[in-house]
Structure formats: C-alpha cells, structure tokens
Amino acid sequence: MVKEINAQSSLWTAGESFLLEADFVTQLHKSETGHFTWRWSSNSQWEQETTLADFHQITVKKGDETYTARNLKFTPLPVREILEVLNAPRLQSNKWDIGRAKIKQHDAEDCLELRSSAKGDVKREICIASDSKRVVSDETSGDAEVRLRQFSDYQPFLGSSIPRTLKLTIDDVPVLTVVVTLLEKHSYPAAGFVAPANAIVRRTCANMVHPKAIKMPNPQYPTGERVNATSIVVLTVLPDGSVSDVYLVGSSYQGMDKVTQQVVKTWKFKPAMCDGEPVTADIYVQVNFRSR
C-alpha cells in the first residue's frame, strides 16, 4: 500500500514542464474566490501568480532564491495552503514509522495508519479507493490541529493521475477548495522567469528546516477581565532567531491585539536552516491568550 500511495507523485516530481490553472474558494473566515496559475519548468525554475479578492501575488523561483511581490504586507493564510493541497501524499521513512503502519478497511476504502517517527502523538491516516487505488484522503492529527486533505475527480497526466478537485479542512472547518481547470505540458524559455520588481527575496532549498520556537511567552491581558482567546500572526524569523515584521491577521478578541504584537516581538526561535546555514523565513503562528 505504501508503494501505491507513493506512486501518485507530486506534479513537481514528474520531470516535465507544465501549466496549471486553478480556481479556488477560501472558507476560513469568509467565503472568497480566487485564481491560481502555476508555470513550472523545473524544481529551480517556476512562477506562480495568485489573485484573491483584492490580493495579488507573483512568486518566482530562480535557483535557491524565491522572489515574492504582493500588494499586501503578508500572504493570506489560505493562499499559503494551496501548494500543500496540490501536493500528493508522500510517505518518507525518515518522517513516518512505516514499519509499524496498520492497514484498516472503511467501506470502499483501504486506510494506512501511521505515527510520526519524531513525535509519537502525531498520527496520520491515508485512505485509497479499494477499486481504483487512488488516494481519496490524507488526515494528520496532533495536539495542535487535525488537517484533512481530500482528493477527487482524477485525470491522467504524465503517466500518473492528478485530482481535479482538492479540499482542505482544519479541525472540521472547511478552509480551502481548489478546482484544477487546466493542466497541460508547456515549454518555457531556457533563461527562466523574470523576478518581479520590489520583490521580497528568500533563500529556500529542498531540505529546508523551518523555524522552531524556543522562547514564546503568551501575552497577559492587563485587566481583571477573564478572557480566553487566540490570535494568528505572521512574522519574519531572522537568521539569528530574532523576530521582525509582525502582522496580526486574525483575532478572536480585539482587546488583546496590541499586547499580542508587542509580546511576539520578544519571542526567540531556532532559525530556519537551508543546507546547514541559518536563513530568513516567514511563518504563521497561533498565539494563545489568557487573563491574569
């Protein structure tokens, strides 16, 4: 079953250049429609263009550098999820305890249950249709959240099968639906794509390690009011592990917004690592708030 799952390779491992067009609907806070274009030449040469309501972003990959130009200070969270939704499930032995995996049957599906090699409390269940052997769902659960990806309406492409409709649900809340409207082989200039003007530049690599918090105190609300709430912020982690460019993107209690932004600036991280070197990275984090 592991071989059957891994056989459904990601688009970017297919070895052929392509053009992908997709419409998507975000449903995290409110329903909004958008469009995503992916011009792919190779792992080190591609261009993505995304529109969502008034948001517009162009990202170009050239070698180890990624160039992003956008008309907002941050990328909306659902937009950041598009690539994960499009990425076919993969089972890597260094991340998942494949040797102790269990197979279970649910109606017309065969499901593989796994645990993380690094964190025993993180579970994953990948289900394939018993008749077609195509992946229909991929669910990962841990202390933080439950993420469910669903795949349907498969089409043949480059010797494999690619789903046209893909959905992401987090903690039973629909977040994103992507519908592929065009997928075809396409040729691009050998010189690659042109980096957009005034772009944010980040170094990325295939074996990149993301930032990890080592000091992240929660904000204390300075009144006697009893409040339990959360905020979502996007921030930049610098190579020395310090924080810059903190932006609030979601809050369940506005009274904590200012103090949240202030305390996040004091957080400390192990920086992102690219080929063993610390690099700048942008991440989303959830801040939990509790009253004094």
Host domain of residue 280? 206-291
The answer on 7 and 72 residing in a single domain is: yes
Q: Is residue 162 part of a domain?
A: yes
Q: Is residue 53 part of a domain?
A: yes
Q: Which token pair is 186? A: 């396409």
Q: How many alpha carbons lie under 13 Å from residue 215 in its C-beta half-sphere? A: 8
Q: Is residue 261 part of a domain?
A: yes
Q: What is the pLDDT at residue 69?
A: 97
Displacement of CA 5 from its chain's centroid (Å): 20
The answer on 257 and 152 residing in a single domain is: no
The SS3 assignment for 267 reads coil
DSSP run (H or E) holding 53 = none
Q: Is residue 71 part of a domain?
A: yes
Q: Is residue 237 part of a domain?
A: yes
For residues 172 and 145, give the distance between their C-alpha atoms in angstroms, rounded to a whole number: 10
The answer on 77 and 215 residing in a single domain is: no
Q: Is residue 115 part of a domain?
A: no
The answer on 249 and 284 residing in a single domain is: yes
The answer on 214 and 154 residing in a single domain is: no
One-letter amino acid at 99 equals G
DSSP run (H or E) holding 271 = none
Q: Is residue 74 part of a domain?
A: yes
Q: What is the pLDDT at residue 18?
A: 94
The answer on 163 and 53 residing in a single domain is: yes
How many domains are contained in the chain? 2
For residues 73 and 185, give the distance between their C-alpha atoms in angstroms, rounded to a whole number: 34
Using alpha carbons, list the distances in angstroms from residue 179 to 25, 33, 82, 108: 9, 11, 11, 24
Q: Centre a 10 Å sphere on the Cβ of residue 119 and count the other Cβ atoms it contains.
A: 11
One-letter amino acid at 167 equals K
Q: Where are the alpha helices (DSSP H) in 54-183?
A: 77-80, 82-86
Q: Which of 164, 92, 169 is nearest to 138 (CA)?
A: 169
Using alpha carbons, list the distances in angstroms from residue 289 to 1, 173, 234: 43, 21, 16
The answer on 159 and 256 residing in a single domain is: no
Q: Where are the alpha helices (DSSP H) in the chain?
A: 2-6, 77-80, 82-86, 257-264
Q: What is the pLDDT at residue 128?
A: 92
The answer on 60 and 154 residing in a single domain is: yes
CATH number, domain of 252, equals 3.30.2420.10
Whole-prediction pTM value? 0.86
Q: What is the distance between the terminal CA atoms of the chain, rounded to a whole angstrom?
A: 51
Tens-binned pLDDT, residue by residue, of the chain (292 aa): 777 777 766 676 667 899 999 999 998 667 999 999 999 999 889 999 999 999 999 999 999 999 999 999 889 888 889 988 888 777 777 778 888 889 988 889 999 999 888 776 889 999 999 998 899 999 999 867 899 999 999 998 887 888 999 999 999 989 999 999 999 999 998 888 999 999 999 998 878 899 999 988 776 665 556 667 778 889 999 999 999 999 988 776 666 778 888 888 999 999 999 999 999 999 988 877 665 5
Query: Where would I find the beta strands (DSSP E) of 27-120?
Result: 32-42, 45-52, 55-62, 65-70, 102-106, 109-115
Q: Would you say 136 and 128 are in contact if contact means Cβ atoms under 8 Å apart?
A: yes
The answer on 164 and 37 residing in a single domain is: yes
The answer on 171 and 214 residing in a single domain is: no
The answer on 176 and 31 residing in a single domain is: yes
The answer on 152 and 53 residing in a single domain is: yes
Q: Is residue 176 part of a domain?
A: yes
